[in-house]
Amino acid sequence: MSLRALFAAGLLACGSAHAALWGYVDAKGVAHFAAEAPDARYRLVLADRSDADAAPRVPGKADDPDSLLLRLQIDPGAKALTPWLREAAREQRVDAELLEAVIATESGFDASAVSPRGAIGLMQITADTADRYATARERRTPARQRLLDPRTNIRTGARVLADLIRRFGHIDLALAAWNAGEGTVRRYGGMPPIAETRAHVQMVLELYWALLQRTQARSAVRLQLR
């Protein structure tokens, strides 16, 4: 069952498509949903639409990292990307967890996402940027078509991110350049005083740290079993 279907089932169980939805995944991998949080295990998955801010919201930027982590645990589509994340991570020497954090924040793992600014796919990359980092073989295919392919999108995004980290020397500034542009970061001589950019960087870093902790915990368990 897809993540969207799980959410829909949870919302129906809660009685309203506009109600808040809380949930957690237990040790057996079973997803539990409720209209309110019965205990501390539950995290907010979907906010009550009636409580949403009137101002336009930047997708992903105001989400709770715990909520995004829960979605990653539930959504089989996110897990299906693991081989491509690892491949891109090996090729560009960036952590797969960082790539995953960017994808979760940028598109919520929606491979068909297109932003009002024309950013496309999982990592929300523009056609111009894709062409800049494309191989000669990749350029034979139109940028939009390439970016809608999950594997190509991830590999392209990994090249961009690795290059930004080399250019700016720090992950936080690389993420700021990813969001606001390289010129903006250079103009301010560091982190730009732009609310959306700072929220983006904070969200990605928090999720990146949480994913690293999850990976390390799994490795520790495997070591103990040996």
- Whether residue 138 lies in the annotated active site: no
The residues, ordered by sequence, that sit 6+ positions from 56 with a Cβ below 8 Å of its Cβ are none
HSE value, Cβ hemisphere, 13 Å, CA-based, for 219 = 6
First vs last C-alpha separation in the chain: 34
Point out the catalytic residue in the list 36, 87, 91, 106: 106
Residue 219 Rama label (left phi>0; alpha psi -120 to 50; beta): alpha
| Rg of the Cα atoms in the chain | 18
Task: Tell me which DSSP letter residue 15 carries.
Answer: T
3-state secondary structure 104-167: HHHCCCCCCCECCCCCECCCCECHHHHHHHCCCCHHHCCHHHHHCCHHHHHHHHHHHHHHHHHH
Encoding tokens for residue 178? Answer: 């990813």
Q: So which residues are the catalytic ones?
A: 106
